[in-house]
Chains A and B, each alone.
Chain A
Amino acid sequence: MTTLISFKNVYLSPQGLFSKNRESILKNVSFEINAGDTIGILGLNGSGKSTILKLCAGLIYPTSGTVEVAKNVNVSLLSLNSGFFPNLSGYENAVLLASWLINKNQNLETSINKIHEFSGLDHAFFDPVNTYSNGMKSALGFSIASYVKSDVLLVDETLSVGDKNFSRKSKNKIEQLVDSGTAFVLASHSANKINSYCAKCILVSNGEVMAAGQTSELVELYACI
């Protein structure tokens, strides 16, 4: 099985003369993400789930240890605070993000039409994003991230704000992507969400990996935290 991302003894701690809190945010985190994996990162608020996703996406860098991303692997990160430009419409944001994320051989217009159709935003797609609800932002973000060709799709809590129809559509889409070899990683504090989307799970607490294994087994352990 192809390893797409591997964490080896990753530590992340504040650095610099003016850092107020010097306690490590992540301590000795090691795991691997393989092609076609569905991995849930489960933990309480502030346990380091989103930080692990940011490291996977290459947005931040570890203080020590290594985060290795295989060559030519496209990683998309989708979070509730995804960087939409609030003054631009959903369409314009889609053009902008898709033009950065799509492969050179993909057609931009076709991708945008598919994103529009999947998001279910209809006319709102052409309205400024600052008029969107959290659910609409989540629908737009997921549609963009799932329609551009990415090898690893990282989702941070976003799926919990979508409505019933969108949850069903997004679950089908994730299954399609996983079948085609895309690895899917979901970070959430909801054991139910992780259980319904992911086969494997990593339990995180205070920046440390407490346990890793099958989701069904770890969900019971999580209930005891």
Chain B
Amino acid sequence: MSNFRLFAYNFIKLSIRSDFIRFKMTAFWLFLEPILYFVLYFILLEGRFLIHEKTFTELCIEVSAWLFFVKNFTQNANIFGTSKKFISALNIRIEKIFILQFVSGSIRNFLYLLVFAVAASQSNFSFSGIATVVIGAITLILLTFCFSSISSFSIVYFHDFSKIIPIVVLGMLFTSGIFFQMPAEHTIVNVFFEHNPLRVVISFIYSQSLTTKHAFLLSMFILAGLSSFTYFFIKQNQASIRNKVIMGI
């Protein structure tokens, strides 16, 4: 019978190889892109998002975490739509396709996570460097996994909103205060910030007077629960998702 492990190994190896070997500029662009983003964020966000109050390390953590989320989320936000041919070709369970695509996509964005790890290990958080890096990285991966699975599942049923859903999610995250803390000025962004459902959750976590360590752990716990719930929801709706993706019915 089918050999999923061998297939998964070859799939991840070949998709990465095709990115980095066939397109020679990919490796070069991979290093250049974060630097350009850093420069852009300095110009755009300076003075608006309390950048001037942060140390360079803190800024590196924020920007690399945000970049990892944006890249990973936008690549995986419509997994079922983008892998329609893949789903049509092979009779693999839909949740396995999701995991495979997510893992190979995340490996490509590893560099952003590396910047996050290096910066986080240099920071003066209240708990040890390695724990910061590991818990922070897992939280980030869970965050992208959670939002990507919710977004791709929604797009299957609300196909007409396939372009809007990722933008709404990104906007919600951007104005939630997870990645960037904003000043109390009355700006247009602040309107979204005040009415953002994610901010309610974050406010709740902060209102518990938790330490950074406990806040991290609590968010990881919430994200793990939400991710598992969506994963099993996708698994349960196997037939419906397949019929929608392959036949559009």
Q: Which residues of A contact B (CB under 8 A)?
A: 12-16, 18-19, 25, 51, 54, 57-61, 72, 74-75, 77, 79, 81-85, 87-88, 92, 95-97, 99-104, 108, 128
A-contacting residues of B (Cβ < 8 Å)? 1-4, 6-7, 9-11, 14-15, 17-18, 22, 85-92, 157-158, 238-240, 242-244, 246-247, 249
In the bound complex, residues from chain B placing their C-beta under 8 Å from that of A12 are 243, 247, 249
CB of A114 to closest CB in B, whole Å: 17
Asked whether, in the complex, the Cβ of B249 is within 8 Å of the Cβ of A13, the reply is: yes
CA distance A103 to B15 in the complex (A): 23
- Report chain B residues within 8 Å CB of A13: 249
Give the dominant DSSP class at A's interface: loop
Q: Of A51, A59, A74, A84, which contacts B242 at CB under 8 A?
A: A59
Q: Which of B4, B14, B239 contacts A96 (CB 8 A)?
A: B14
**Cβ contact within 8 Å between A81 and B88:** yes
The 3 closest A-B pairs by CB, nearest first: A83-B89, A61-B239, A14-B249
Expressed in whole angstroms, the Cα–Cα distance for A12 and B239 within the complex equals 12
Q: Which of A75, A82, A100, A101 has the most CB of B within 10 A?
A: A100
Q: In the bound complex, how far is the Cα of B249 from the Cα of A19, in angstroms?
A: 7
Most buried by A among B88, B89, B158, B238: B89
Query: CB within 8 A of B247: which of A25, A74, A92, A108?
Result: A25
Q: Is the CB of A61 within 8 A of B18?
A: no
A104 to B2: give the CA distance in the assembly, Å.
Answer: 8
Contact between A75 and B1, CB atoms less than 8 A apart:
no
- Return the chain B residue nearest A95 by Cβ: B10
Cα distance, A16 to B1, chains bound together (Å) = 34
In the assembled complex, which residues on chain A have CB atoms less than 8 Å from the CB atom of B17?
92
Total CB contacts across the A-B interface at under 8 A: 94
Quick check: B246 and A60 within 8 Å, CB to CB? yes
Known interface pairs A83-B90, A85-B15; 10 further A-B residue pairs with C-beta atoms within 8 A, sorted by A's residue number: A15-B249, A25-B249, A61-B243, A83-B87, A85-B18, A85-B86, A92-B14, A96-B10, A100-B7, A104-B1
Q: What is the CA–CA distance of A54 and B4 in the complex, to the nearest angstrom? A: 21
CB distance from A13 to the nearest CB of B (A): 7
Residues of the B chain whose Cβ atoms lie less than 8 Å from the Cβ of A101: 2
Residues A75 and B91 in contact in the complex (CB < 8 Å), given A18-B157, A81-B85, A96-B14: yes
**Which B residues are in CB contact (< 8 Å) with A57?**
91
* A60, B243: Cβ atoms closer than 8 Å: yes
**CB–CB B91/A59 < 8 A:** yes
A-B contact pairs, 21 of them (CB 8 A): A12-B243, A12-B249, A13-B249, A15-B249, A54-B88, A57-B91, A59-B246, A60-B239, A61-B243, A77-B89, A82-B88, A85-B14, A85-B18, A88-B14, A88-B18, A92-B18, A96-B14, A100-B90, A103-B1, A104-B3, A128-B22
